Structure 1
Amino acid sequence: MPNFKTHVITGILFYPTYFLLYSFILDIANKAFYPDESIILISFFLFVLGSDLPDVDHKFSLINKIFRILLVGIGIYIVFKIRRYFDFFSFFPFRLYIIKTLYIIIGIILGSLIGILFNYITKHRGKWHSPITGIIIGIIMYILKTNSYYIIDYNALFLSLSLTIGFFVHLFLDFHFKG
């Protein structure tokens, strides 16, 4: 089986092809897609992250440790996303920075609990080595990133597909280069 280094290097080398194909397809479809450097950089990191993400279920892998930290960040992000619709602390007479600090703490707790639960219920080469998982992760990424649910957000689609296609690169390597 390919190792961490192989997955990451392959992700790095295949990213330009992904960027070119995505841009070309939107160009042919006559859709405007002009990502700035920050979107391209985030997309690159998501693609490379995706290229090793299926091994996140291995408790001792580097990607698992990185993923646990990302889950804390995602927990914070989810709490702030929910806050847009349900501001649980708005009735307290606190300053805004105190309320935001409370939301950060709740996000840290949420992300940490998700990480503990994740390591408890997953097994290596289980559900994380499935194309369906890659698709679900891409959909979740799109939902978290988009600002519009009525029209296609091509930047959010670009970022979510970066993660998903990187994920599929990993599955391809594992399937075709068994050791």
Structure 2
Amino acid sequence: MPNYDTHVLSGVLSYPVAVALAGLLADHGAPLELSTMALIIGYAFYVLGSDLPDMDHPNALIHRGTKPIVSVAAGGAVYTNIAGSIDLGQPWLNTAVEWVVAALAGVMAWFAFTWLMPRHRGIVHSLLFAAIYGGLAFLMVEYGLGMRTGEGLFVGLSAFLGYTLHLLLDGSVKLV
């Protein structure tokens, strides 16, 4: 089976094929917009996707890299939702205690990430998860970054194709 370097370098090198495919689809009426920013963000999602299916392996670099991101995102989300809700008299103390709660949520997310992750080469190694990853990339670009729909569709397609590249390199393309 290919290793981390093989997956990521394959993503780095094969992105022009994804760009060509998207350009061809756009020429035939697909609502894809290949702006400079969409191409750059699409490249990031494509290359990340080229190793992302291995997040289900606890020893994989992508698993170890994704876990802290999930933890920080969970802690940040908790802080955002509780900011200003604790009143212990001093604003600095309120903020510090709110961050204690947020940090505890981050620690819980750290352990939940591995606990909830399915077995290696299970459902995460599927076209279903490739589609979920592409859909999340689209939502993040269109709604999170406020880019145009066509740009979001291109980034979502790039994410899907990068994730699918990993499955092809593993020789294991399955729907679920």
TM-score when normalising by structure 1: 0.71
Residue of 156, 159, 166 corresponding to 2:152: 156
- How far apart, CA to CA, are the structure 2 residues paired with 1:53 and 1:30? 26
Checking the alignment, whether the CA contact within 8 Å between 1:138 and 1:160 is kept in structure 2 is: yes
Residue of 118, 124, 149 corresponding to 2:113: 118
Corresponding residue number in structure 1 for 2:35? 35
SS at match of 1:147: helix
Corresponding residue number in structure 2 for 1:13? 13
1:9-58 per-position Cα deviation (integer Å, ceiling 9, x unaligned): 11111111111221332233175725234x32222121111111111111
Counting matched residue pairs gives 163
- How far apart, CA to CA, are the structure 2 residues paired with 1:30 and 1:130? 25
Corresponding residue number in structure 2 for 1:23? 23
Corresponding residue number in structure 2 for 1:53? 52
- How far apart, CA to CA, are the structure 2 residues paired with 1:143 and 1:18? 20
Cα RMSD after superposing both structures: 3.4
1:103-126 per-position Cα deviation (integer Å, ceiling 9, x unaligned): 8x73x6555533421211332112
Query: Where does 1:158-177 land on structure 2 (aligned, <5 Å)?
Result: 158-175=154-171
Cα distance change on mapping 1:30 and 1:146 into 2, 3 Å: closer
TM-score when normalising by structure 2: 0.72
State the identity as a percent: 27
- How far apart, CA to CA, are the structure 2 residues paired with 1:42 and 1:76? 25
Structure number with greater Rg is 2
| Structure 1 residue runs without a partner (length 5+) | none
Structure 1 residue 135, shift from structure 2 partner: 1.1
